[in-house]
Chain A
Amino acid sequence: MFNNMTLSDSAQQEGGLPSSVLFIVGLVVATVCLFLAMSLVEFQPTDQPLVTLVASNLEQSGVENPVTAVLLNFRSYDTLLEVAVLLIVALAVMPSGLQDAQQPFITVSKPRERSLVLEAFLRWLLPAIVVTSGYLLWTGASLPGGAFQAGALLAGAGILLLLAGHHSFNFNAPTARLLLVIGLAMFLLVGAGVILSSGIALAYPVAMSGILILVIEVAATLTIAAVLVLLFCALQIEPLGPQPNLGDKEKHL
């Protein structure tokens, strides 16, 4: 089942699993799902203690949106660890040794192929995306939104910028490294700093919790956007941008 894994395009040539095994696997999975569905139908949640708990403590959290309150105040350890996971993955997929740390984060150059539609569209779209991202970040305090949505939007802007071909990112540059770690660093700083006032890590003082959450969220947005763009860059087998010697190779891939 996990012994003969393949990467080839046509799995039939490599020989998939025999149909008898497939049948048994299908049967087992179907049975499992059936039991899961039956237990879901029978499952009747009597009371939801967390709902009242969140609602009654919402005033102390510094934000009005309960999801943001849970993410960045009540269960901020989850979010802290999540930003740490993002940083670890970023370190794992980081292109190593290919680019010089002295080069700037963003380099502008002439693209190999120009897409006029994308370029013209981007001129309108990019400012709008950045503004929308800022709005989502700000509105996360009271309405659906927040660091993840804003970061994902910003990352989308970065990927579009990459696809247009005029810009290329160097994630070994000092600026990029700062962007990659600032979310976790700010989270840890604030989390450790509030020990001075409240004595417990990540337990924000009520009067300042709103601004502290905003600071963490701004930093987390930058980090999430940077990591997502890095993931996109790192997964390209052929790097985009001006690399003339790769022109022929891409065609037969």
Chain B
Amino acid sequence: MTQALLYGVFGIALFGIGLFGVLAITHVVKKILAINICGVGVFMVFIANASSGATPDFVPHAMVLTGIVVAVAGTAMALSLVVRINALEKPEEDA
């Protein structure tokens, strides 16, 4: 069992934890967190696979770097929607 494989398997475990959270948790913010955990798992598998050769493959590195930034942006977008929903659901406290 190589180190890359170990990281890959734990990446899949993270993906599973996140996927379970997305499906099973009803709280919206926790669902968003679960999606993030899911994404981190995918990144980890990707990166771990890239380093399995003699020299690491740099293309997945660059793509994951891009993916992290997009994931942050997506999370922020989702959270801003949550903030908006929260504001709409409690109009009496905003007054």
A-side interface residues toward B, CB under 8 Å?
1, 4-8, 11, 14, 16-17, 21-22, 25-26, 29-30, 32-33, 36-37, 40-41, 43, 45, 48, 50-51, 54-55, 66-67, 69-71, 74-75, 78-79, 82, 85-86, 89, 92-93, 148, 224, 227-228, 231, 234-235, 237
Contact indicator A11/B25 (Cβ below 8 Å): yes
Kindly identify, within residues 16 to 66 of chain B, every residue whose CB is under 8 Å from any CB belonging to chain A.
16, 19-20, 23-31, 45, 49, 52-53, 55-59, 61-63, 65-66
Contact indicator B59/A54 (Cβ below 8 Å): yes
Contact indicator A92/B77 (Cβ below 8 Å): yes
Contact indicator B55/A6 (Cβ below 8 Å): no
Contact indicator A228/B15 (Cβ below 8 Å): no
CB distance from B27 to the nearest CB of A (A): 5
B16 CB contacts on chain A under 8 angstroms: 29-30, 32-33
Whole-angstrom CA separation of A36 from B46 in the bound complex: 13
Contact indicator B23/A67 (Cβ below 8 Å): no
A155 — nearest CB in chain B belongs to which residue? B72
Task: Please list 25 pairs of residues, one from A and one from B, whose beta carbons are closer than 8 Å in the complex, sorted by A's number.
Answer: A4-B26, A5-B27, A6-B26, A7-B85, A7-B86, A11-B26, A17-B26, A21-B24, A25-B24, A33-B13, A48-B55, A66-B58, A69-B58, A70-B61, A71-B66, A74-B59, A78-B62, A89-B74, A93-B80, A148-B68, A148-B69, A228-B72, A231-B72, A234-B76, A235-B80
A44 — nearest CB in chain B belongs to which residue? B52
Whole-angstrom CA separation of A48 from B28 in the bound complex: 40
A36 CB contacts on chain B under 8 angstroms: 12, 15
B27 CB contacts on chain A under 8 angstroms: 5-8, 11
Contact indicator B57/A234 (Cβ below 8 Å): no
Does B89 lie at the interface of the complex (its beta carbon under 8 Å from any beta carbon of A)?
yes
Residue from A6, A66, A67, A69 within 8 A of B65 (CB atoms): A67
Contact indicator B28/A33 (Cβ below 8 Å): no
- In the complex, which of the residues A1, A50, A93, A224 has the most CB atoms of chain B within 10 Å of its own CB atom? A93
Whole-angstrom CA separation of A21 from B89 in the bound complex: 28
Residue from B23, B70, B87 within 8 A of A85 (CB atoms): B70
Whole-angstrom CA separation of A6 from B30 in the bound complex: 10
Contact indicator B24/A51 (Cβ below 8 Å): no
Residue from B8, B24, B69, B89 within 8 A of A40 (CB atoms): B8
A52 — nearest CB in chain B belongs to which residue? B55
Whole-angstrom CA separation of A78 from B58 in the bound complex: 14
Contact indicator B20/A25 (Cβ below 8 Å): yes
Contact indicator A231/B23 (Cβ below 8 Å): no
**Do A33 and B12 form a contact, CB below 8 Å, given A54-B59, A71-B66?**
yes
A90 — nearest CB in chain B belongs to which residue? B73
Contact indicator A7/B70 (Cβ below 8 Å): no
B15 CB contacts on chain A under 8 angstroms: 33, 36
Contact indicator A75/B57 (Cβ below 8 Å): no
Whole-angstrom CA separation of A78 from B70 in the bound complex: 11
Contact indicator A85/B73 (Cβ below 8 Å): yes
Contact indicator A43/B49 (Cβ below 8 Å): yes
Whole-angstrom CA separation of A130 from B73 in the bound complex: 23
